Structure 1
Amino acid sequence: MANFAKSHVPRFSAEVYQNEYLPEGGREVNAIVTVTATGGGTTGGVPLFAAGTDAATTGGMRDPAIPGNAAVIVMIDCSGSMDQPPTKMRNAREATAAAIDTVRDGVAFAVVAGTHQAAEVYPGGGRLAVADPTTRSQAKAALRKLTAGGGTAIGTWLRLADRLLSSADVAIRHGILLTDGRNEHESAKDLRATLDACAGRFTCDARGVGTDWEVKEVTGIASALLGSADIVADPDHLAEDFTRMMEAAMGKEVADVSLRLWTPQNAEVVFVKQVAPTVEDLTGRRSPSGPRSGDYPTGSWGDESRDYHICVRVPDAGVGQEMLAARVSLVLPGPGGGPAQTLSQGLVRAVWTDDMAVSTSINPQVAHYTGQAELAQAIQQGLDARKSGDLDGATAKLGRAVQLASASGNEDTAKLLSKVVDVVDAATGTVRLKAKVAEADEMTLETRSTKTVRVKK
């Protein structure tokens, strides 16, 4: 997908945070790698992101005259349930129009209507349109004809999006998917096969509108396609959310960035996880890239920063010995299948010591993100226990989540938890399950459970 001639490759930096000291017999090395991309296309002009969006971290600017090296597909659920109430379909049309208005001139785009099958709404004929005032106006006129009816087979929407996106010779390929219901007209196995086929070909943000959709389905789509997932419980807020999503997509500068991890002989990778801005386990997505090295996909980047937790098990060595436990690189595939381009790298070390004070100290970054990953897991387990009727288990897990959210300063998650449990004592994690919980509140907590906060400076 990468196209170097046209894209503005940001500068990447990698900072490693760890306690490199291991006790005698110690083998497990943990490190947080902060990867930051800056300066992609920062040539003056309009802001990349609207203020207040998740991606608005660097204030990058771009000249709007730069031709787009991107293609984007908006997939709108048009199943029968989108007519209940009828305002939902209207909100979806308006949100898609707002997203189209946000597509930068020169960017290729299309709109797909999704039911139990997928249909091209605009421009049609298996093509993509190139954004300009005329095509945006035509696309919005086509949207006005959309009506609700039929079932839901999300895999067919994604496969059509993949076909359309693959026709474009661009670096950035992105999808935005909206659904209001469960994927009832294809099997979970079929959807999984589609996600496997589309993974690495384009990224996709997924949104559930209302409360009749399945959280694990929507978050699973976003996870597989390295995008974001969220709930828009009130359809009136769809346009605002779609605008933010499209602005973030327009801010991406480079695709197909991989995190390459080299480890020495007889070492093994325990896990590789993205831990900020959300928790995403990448361990199972490794593809071999050479002797003792493997690549983990990270998707598309604009001006932004992400944190990764790497855990490596190394061979035991004697006190006073030291070794390179891992080398972490950010790489881009080479043009025409040539050698990969290294964007940045960091080193993870292991040093054996008999000084217990030094070896038992936990690096603050590692401790913080270990807690954030546990927080996400405790919420998921607590909500699953609540749904299955295990109220004691739910109370224990959600209480632990409250404790972790409070200790780490994750105020957004703490607020979401307080809508599901009554907090007696946040510091000890003492809570009572609420007798009545609004479905939207429970779904919001589950959907956003993986969002993390960074270490307090």
Structure 2
Amino acid sequence: MADFVKPNVPRFSVDVYQNEHLPEGAGEVNAIVTVTATGGGALGGAVAAPAPGQGPSAAVALMVDCSGSMEYPPAKMRNAREATAAAVDALRDGTRFAVIGGTHVAQEVYPGGGRLAVADAVTRGQAKQALRRLSAGGGTAIGTWLRLADRLLSAADVTIRHGILLTDGRNEHESPQDLQATLEACAGRFTCDARGVGTDWEVKEVTGIASALLGTADIVADPAGLAADFTRMMETAMGKEVAGVALRVWTPVGAAVRFLKQVAPTVEDLTARRTEAGPRVGDYPTGSWGDESRDYHLCVQVPPAGIGQEMLAARISPVVPQPDRSVRSLGGQGLVRAVWTDDLATSTSIDPRVAHYTGQAELAQAIQKGLDLRKAGDIDGATARLGRAVQLANASGNADTAKLLAKVVDVVDAATGTVRLKTKVAEADEMTLETRSTKTVRVKK
């Protein structure tokens, strides 16, 4: 079967929102940078698969937990098989793919032989036949699954490389250091969505995998919901059109990036992932893009200056770094400025978008810290942090997070953040709140 021809790469645009005015002597500039890619599927959601012959070349590895715990309850393994079959059905014709069974070792379920299959009606049927033979037994060593996925995906000469990983338990058969080393080895080579099914897995492990590999993480508390979730994930993966996108940030002499965080649709701190790309230039990886829009909070330290002075504090543009250290520009550029003024009203006002996303980042931190304190038995500390989270969710209109918080605390007054910890909380509710704590709402237009 012939490969699909590469479609037109999406056109990227960059918009900057900031209050560029600083008081005399100030040296910190904050801006929200909105990066938008257009030219393919539906903006902001699951993307419709391109017409035959029009999609980018892609390879996908599906990693299914087959450890012994997947037998309990028996429906869990059946649901996992059905969900993986649904994901296979959502593959675009011509996509390379493989199914991996994960225990304390990684096994090639389909097609085998260190190869990838090419999706069509025949190979989809064969893959689903192979899935019916999957059974549970053994331990859990997720790093081995990811390394096999990397070997299979890297053999394909394709534009998009993506993994989908499902686990129901903790990574008990390899050390955290081994898993971390695997994530570092795989970062930038493929993206990966991770899902925890049931309530016996470790949230920080699953979210850590997705974070390191620039994918999404979520909980599927009821295994019956797996098939719908896997279908959505695969449809989104099939809508990706350009891989390896980085945000290139230039700063002038004397200035430096304090931090760069993705703040929508989720909070993800990219600061430590910077790679130097030349004098005063750094690249921050963002993974694969389809038709979508994401927001970033850029904070730049600049040399303090006097009244009336102004400077270009940063220049930010989406690029695809090439192996030969050249770069492919994706279009669009945002400029962040600093102007020093003695107008107190102007220099002390905070841009509404900067204020909103600062609150959303604090909301995620408050939830995570509050749940950690709750687990540690610090009732007062947990109440204070989760109360602050309720207050921030209420103020920003983050209704989804507010609903999740209400399952963990009794809300007395949302506006002031007055809450009481619930004495009994369903484990699935607590894990859902923790897993989804970084999801944000965008500024209302």
Structures share a fold, TM > 0.5? Answer: yes
Q: Is the 8 A contact 2:87 2:227 kept in 1?
A: yes
2:165 alignment counterpart: 177
* Worse-superposed segment, 160-169 or 65-74: 65-74
Cα distance, 1:335–1:193 mapped onto 2, change above 3 Å: closer
- Secondary structure at 1:162 match in 2: helix
Alpha-carbon displacement from aligned partner over 1:35-67 (angstroms, at most 9, x marks no partner) = 000003x6xxxxx69xxxx624xx767323325
Q: Distance in 2 between matches of 1:60 and 1:178?
A: 23
**Pick aligned residue for 2:416 from 428, 434, 452:** 428
Alpha-carbon displacement from aligned partner over 1:423-456 (angstroms, at most 9, x marks no partner) = 0000000000000000000000000000000001
2:348 alignment counterpart: 360
- Shift in Å, 1:333: 2.3
2:252 alignment counterpart: 264
Q: Which amino acid aligns with 2:9?
A: V
2:96 counterpart of 1:108:
yes
1:452 alignment counterpart: 440
2:319 counterpart of 1:331:
yes
1:397 alignment counterpart: 385
2:19 alignment counterpart: 19
Q: Which amino acid aligns with 1:275?
A: V
- Shift in Å, 1:6: 2.5
Q: Is the 8 A contact 1:33 1:307 kept in 2?
A: yes
Q: Which amino acid aligns with 1:283?
A: T
Q: Is the 8 A contact 1:101 1:136 kept in 2?
A: yes
2:38 counterpart of 1:38:
yes
Alpha-carbon displacement from aligned partner over 1:88-122 (angstroms, at most 9, x marks no partner) = 00000000000000000011000000000000000
* Worse-superposed segment, 439-448 or 60-69: 60-69
1:166 alignment counterpart: 154
- Shift in Å, 1:340: 3.3
Q: How does 1:380-391 map to 2 (within 5 A)?
A: 380-391=368-379
Aligned residues: CA RMSD: 1.6
Q: Is the 8 A contact 1:31 1:366 kept in 2?
A: yes
- Shift in Å, 1:8: 3.0
**Pick aligned residue for 2:45 from 47, 55, 70:** 55
2:361 counterpart of 1:373:
yes
1:45 alignment counterpart: none
Cα distance, 1:339–1:207 mapped onto 2, change above 3 Å: closer
* Worse-superposed segment, 380-389 or 6-15: 6-15
- Shift in Å, 1:141: 0.2
- Shift in Å, 1:344: 1.6
Q: Distance in 2 between matches of 1:245 and 1:437?
A: 29
What residue ranges of structure 1 are gaps of 5+ in the alignment?
43-47
- Secondary structure at 2:332 match in 1: strand
**Pick aligned residue for 1:80 from 68, 89, 93:** 68
- Secondary structure at 1:62 match in 2: coil
2:281 counterpart of 1:293:
yes
Alpha-carbon displacement from aligned partner over 1:326-372 (angstroms, at most 9, x marks no partner) = 00011112475534324221000000000000000000000000000
Q: Distance in 2 between matches of 1:143 and 1:335?
A: 37
Q: Is the 8 A contact 1:332 1:343 kept in 2?
A: no
**Pick aligned residue for 1:302 from 271, 290, 315:** 290
2:138 counterpart of 1:150:
yes
Q: Is the 8 A contact 1:78 1:146 kept in 2?
A: yes
Q: Is the 8 A contact 1:77 1:113 kept in 2?
A: yes
- Secondary structure at 1:184 match in 2: coil
Q: Distance in 2 between matches of 1:348 and 1:420?
A: 40
Alpha-carbon displacement from aligned partner over 1:352-393 (angstroms, at most 9, x marks no partner) = 000000000000000000000000000000000000000000
Q: Is the 8 A contact 2:4 2:54 kept in 1?
A: no
Q: Distance in 1 between matches of 2:109 and 2:283?
A: 37
Q: Distance in 1 between matches of 2:414 and 2:237?
A: 37
Q: Is the 8 A contact 1:108 1:129 kept in 2?
A: yes
Q: Is the 8 A contact 1:68 1:105 kept in 2?
A: no
Q: Is the 8 A contact 1:226 1:299 kept in 2?
A: yes
- Shift in Å, 1:27: 0.6
1:10 alignment counterpart: 10
Q: Distance in 1 between matches of 2:337 and 2:5?
A: 37
Q: Percent identity?
A: 78
Q: Distance in 1 between matches of 2:132 and 2:32?
A: 48
TM-score (norm: length of structure 2):
0.97
2:100 counterpart of 1:118:
no
2:82 alignment counterpart: 94
Q: Is the 8 A contact 1:68 1:108 kept in 2?
A: no
Q: Which amino acid aligns with 1:21?
A: H
- Secondary structure at 1:343 match in 2: coil
2:29 alignment counterpart: 29
- Secondary structure at 2:25 match in 1: coil
Q: How does 1:119-134 map to 2 (within 5 A)?
A: 119-134=107-122
1:141 alignment counterpart: 129
